[in-house]
A = this chain, B = another copy of it.
């Protein structure tokens, strides 16, 4: 086996990823079905490692497998444009910002509870946490 080829365990180690996760990625189709040894062991290349790192990083950034499939199409197929990618990334930041805003509100609410807390329990009709979260939405 050449130095640029390796088995799944090595790939897993290099990408900080479990072997089973790579199997799973293969099943979903975002990782390719690689060539095998006579005995059936998967043989990976450096570009497989690169692809897997891309997948892991994208997952960290909150993209799901479906979205990563879309992103990988940009790489795998020609004829796509940068704007498509930017749009997806921007959509992602909007989602993230929404979550941050919500959490900041929750944190504020919890802090208020901490400050107001002088003993005894709150009833469901008079709980500052409940109130903080009980926001009607349209």
Contact = CB atoms under 8 A, between A and B. Distances in A.
Interface size class of A (residues with CB under 8 A): 35 or more
Contacts of A125: 47
Interface of A is mostly: helix
A19 interface: no
A126 interface: yes
B93 A110 contact: yes
Given A54-B134, A85-B129, A93 B121 contact: no
A77 B79 CA distance: 60
Contacts of A75: 121-124, 127, 129-130, 134
B93 A100 contact: no
A74 B96 CA distance: 28
A39 interface: no
Interface string A96-128: 110110111011011101100111111111110
